[in-house]
Amino acid sequence: MRLAGRDLVAIEDLDRPVIEELLDSARSLIPAAEGTAAPRTLEGKLVAMAFLEPSTRTRLSFEAAVQRLGGRCVTIADPAATSIRKGETLSDTIRMISSYSDALVLRHPNSGAARLAADLSDRPVINAGDGSHQHPTQTLTDLAAIREAHGTLSGLRIVVLGDLKYGRAVHSLIWALALFGNEIVLTSPPSLRLPESARHRLRALGARVQEEPELSRALAGADILYVTRIQRERFPDETEYRKVAGSYRIDRTTLDAVGPGLRVLHPLPRLGEIAPEVDRTPHALYFRQAFLGVPVRMALLQAILGEGG
């Protein structure tokens, strides 16, 4: 694969064949992610996890991925316990961490932080979510779940529901969905519509995109419903958040009218936007999706650092 030594800052850094290769590799690594096989492709490698914003899935799945492949991690899980608290700059922090490790996985609250880190670091940088910009490894995970459920990544009708303005997972995902030739249906509260910059990127790809504010109409003939949380932490004004909080919720009644093949994805964490009763339906795919984050990140790390590179 052509990823050896490279950064992953945005999903556009990967072309279609590379994404397909990564997903094939991830599928073959599922036994290792489950602990029933033990490849050692990252033996001797040290990966730094700099999580300067909260995370459960991304950090732990990256750490699990490294360790399942025989590598080791050094981790910042709480920026308050680092010298950032004393005023150290991101630039100095990145330069130093990258000199301690073979690759750096960075989560940061500011859009553009991963690009800055990649420009500063001598070692590969993987964006684990930067502000409302992008979350490319979440997208690889989402694609793995879609392909596992439907056996294809193309020609599907995919409804993306929720916070399309601030949701970084959405900003990466829609690009990949368009790249693979899917029909994208956007459904959001009016104040959380997809930003013009993202629409421009989709137009440049010739993507089939429509907006449908009415969820029941959006879901007609849909293969995937991708639900997202309203990103409260990104709102400059709490009053604006309160105006949209709780404005959509998927429950059994929503799903009564959909086809049996529809699968519900969510990058998680969820708040109230998917009722727990949905977990017990065959539509729920989000916990399997979260698991697939481990083999997907194994495949990526192996491609950048290990034998697969």
Query: Residue numbers of the site for ligand CP (CB under 6 A)?
Result: 55-58, 129, 138, 267-269
Catalytic, 58? Answer yes
Alpha carbon 242 to its chain centroid, in Å, reads 25
Catalytic, 107? Answer yes
- Catalytic residue, from 6, 41, 45, 58: name it: 58
To ligand CP, the closest distance from the beta carbon of 179 in angstroms equals 21
Do residues 147 and 177 make contact, with C-beta atoms less than 8 angstroms apart?
no
Residue whose CB is less far from ligand CP, 157 or 171: 171
Of 212, 263, 270, nearest in space to 246 by CA: 270
- Catalytic residue, from 57, 72, 199, 270: name it: 57
Please provide the size of the chain in residues. 309
To ligand CP, the closest distance from the beta carbon of 56 in angstroms equals 4
Residue whose CB is less far from ligand CP, 129 or 162: 129
- Catalytic residue, from 107, 108, 165, 168: name it: 107
Catalytic, 57? Answer yes
Catalytic, 229? Answer no
Of 230, 227, 238, nearest in space to 192 by CA: 230
To ligand CP, the closest distance from the beta carbon of 248 in angstroms equals 19
Residue whose CB is less far from ligand CP, 132 or 138: 138
Alpha carbon 138 to its chain centroid, in Å, reads 2
Residue whose CB is less far from ligand CP, 130 or 183: 130
- Catalytic residue, from 86, 200, 239, 280: name it: 86
Residue whose CB is less far from ligand CP, 61 or 182: 61
To ligand CP, the closest distance from the beta carbon of 104 in angstroms equals 16
To ligand CP, the closest distance from the beta carbon of 129 in angstroms equals 6
Do residues 309 and 303 make contact, with C-beta atoms less than 8 angstroms apart?
yes
Laid out side by side, the sheet with 157-161 consists of 208-211, 183-187, 157-161, 224-227, 263-265
Catalytic, 72? Answer no
Residue whose CB is less far from ligand CP, 79 or 267: 267
To ligand CP, the closest distance from the beta carbon of 77 in angstroms equals 11
**Both tokens of residue 296?**
């997907």
**Both tokens of residue 104?**
């750096």
Active-site residue list:
57-58, 86, 107, 135
